[in-house]
Amino acid sequence: MARPFKFPFLFVSFFLAFPISNLFGAIELSGNFGYNKMLYGTSKQNSLTTRSYTSSIALYFFRNTAFELNYHNSTNMRLANERYQITGVANYSVIQSYSEVKYESFGIGLRHAFAPRGSPVRPLISLGYAKKFTDSSGNTLFEHDSNGSQINVAHNSQKSREDSVFGTVQLQLRITNRLSLTGSVNTVFKAFEWDEAKNSLKYLAGFSWII
């Protein structure tokens, strides 16, 4: 009689007998956050805000080289408080527009450190494949030129996903034997569109912990 669960049973039993901490030399957890807000316009009435955070786990199979699994989340928000008229829209002017673009990505790749664990300063680099999801939305506020009545028009949400490449350059400053302060530059861009890497740079700071 066939045993359809034989392989899963053996697979689970293997990890029960050999915990993940025994399969890899070290496990490193990292979390980083970045925030930037820019005001522009004649009266600084407009704003462009970017909020980003990342988390990752690195499973070291050599002293300085690891498999990396990561998650990236970034939101770009643009608020424009400017009055102008649109051709074809009689008696109404735009007084405010808002747009929001959210990015999420899930990545798998390799991480390499250029100094051993425990070094006061430790540079690292990561590179790999990511699946990137984009969700954009927004709204525009119109005001009647004569009576001041307003109409708020919501934009249709647009979603997409694409195969991407992620890259990270990180610098760790040791605080304790296991805890480090980190500064990093991250990018996630469409696969093989290498010129786009510089257009998606995020500057982040956070911590890493070796368990």
Q: Within a domain: residue 26? A: no
The residue-averaged pLDDT of 87-102 equals 89
Q: Within a domain: residue 82? A: yes
Q: Within a domain: residue 177? A: yes
CATH number for position 199 = 2.40.160.20
pTM reported for the whole predicted model: 0.82
pLDDT at 2: 44
Q: Within a domain: residue 13? A: no
pLDDT at 87: 75
Q: What is the DSSP string of the chain?
A: ---TTHHHHHHHHHHHHS-HHHHSSEEEEEEEEEEEEEEESTTS-EEEEEEEEEEEEEEESSSSEEEEEEEEEEEEEEEE---EE-TT-TTEEEEEEEEEEEEEEEEEEEEEESS-TT-SEEEEEEEEEEEEEEEEEEEEEEEETTT--EEEEEPPPEEEEEEEEEEEEEEEEESSSSEEEEEEEEEEEETT-GGGGGGG-EEEEEEEEE-
Q: Within a domain: residue 192? A: yes
Q: Within a domain: residue 23? A: no
Q: What percentage of residues in the chain have a pLDDT greater than 90? A: 74
Number of domains in the chain: 1
Task: Give the domain range for residue 45.
Answer: 35-210
Q: Within a domain: residue 7? A: no
Q: Within a domain: residue 42? A: yes
pLDDT at 71: 97
For residue 117, give both structure tokens.
């664990």
